[in-house]
Amino acid sequence: MRFLVTGAAGFIGFHLARRLLDDGHAVLGVDGMTDYYDVGLKRRRNAMLQAYDRYEFAPVMLQDRPELEALVAAFAPEVIFHLAAQAGVRHSLAHPDTYVSANILGTHQLLEIARKYRPQHLLLASTSSIYGGNEVFPFEEGQRSDFPLSIYAATKKACEGMSHAYAHLWEIPTTCIRFFTVYGPWGRPDMALYRFVDAAVRGRTVEIYGMGGMLREVTYVGDLVEAMTRLVSVVPRAGAPMSSHGVVDSLSPVAPWRAVNIAGGNQVSVLEMVDTVERLTRCNITRRFRSDHLGEAVETRACSRLLHALTGIMPATGFEEIVREFVSWYHDEGYRWARNAVPTVPETC
């Protein structure tokens, strides 16, 4: 098959594109190569993808619709994975214009192109931040998502809403995939695991927000990619949603559209993250606690029963295994890009 992957040089986009290429598919990767974190890391990921004969790449911003549309017209993708976005909850508080432009306007341009070129399936990256101030746990796809806590969450909520409208109006089969704090090798330097490992190895102090009690559902990137590839063949069809054995489908009654949580079943506190990193690196981390966690949910916890019902799988990689693999990668490669990490709380992704 032929896949368009936006954000292909990003953390998750890289892992997804590499999996698709390993499976024998052709991939067109596009990425704006923005400098939210060290562009050298993005170039390194992309160089690995460019070793594949079936990989094409273009450094394009989604807002540049004429260039993007020309690429899509020439490549003719059968499936689109839309992962390009401006990430980072706390960063969105200081730079809201960037998030509106990249996430809302960029997604709108992609949806317009999808309306014209009609992919068999459009899969959009969404986020656990969608659930915002919801205090009913675990988060299920059918719960309300009307109370965003950050600009980032609000833009991703808008993307889900736009994609539903396009699915309804122009019958574009669409799946919104809600990520829950994804970790693994080749990750983003601004995320907590990267910062904690770097602080441990370099003997630096880390700021811990929420006094260390914030809880995050953590997912291994390999498990996420496995689930994403399986969802490709689960194409939404407008109609009566599935409901069996207590699992309620999020399928829209008026559009070929659904939302699906992908989460790893690992809920850990910030302090548990730090303790695990200390143990596996055999280094101490000096901690500075702060109560401020503006824009961040105190807790995320997912229900992944719908994912299991649709694909037959449930992410299962444990948190300690995730950290162990990341530490190994950090010593091999990751230390090169950690210096430009931006202090933040554990992102909800």
What are the residue numbers of the active site? 152
Exposed, middle or buried, 136 (CB in 10 Å: 0-12/13-18/19+)? Answer: exposed
Retrieve residue 300's tokens: 């995320």
| CA dist., res. 349 & res. 337, Å (int) | 20
Is there a contact between 1 and 78 (Cβ–Cβ < 8 Å)?
A: yes
Residue 257 and residue 248: Cα distance in Å, rounded? 14
Q: What is the DSSP letter of 245?
A: T
Q: Which amino acid is at 252?
A: S
Mind spelling out the 3-state secondary structure of 109-125?
HHHHHHHHHCCCEEEEE
* Helix intervals (H) in 118-252: 151-170, 192-202, 221-231
Task: Extract the tokens encoding 211.
Answer: 């006094």
Looking at residue 83, the DSSP 8-state letter turns out to be: -
Q: How far is CA 292 from the centre of its chain?
A: 24
What tokens does 316 get? 């299962």
**Cα dihedral sign, 207-213-215-219:** positive
Give the three-class secondary structure for 257. strand
Report which residue type is found at 157. K
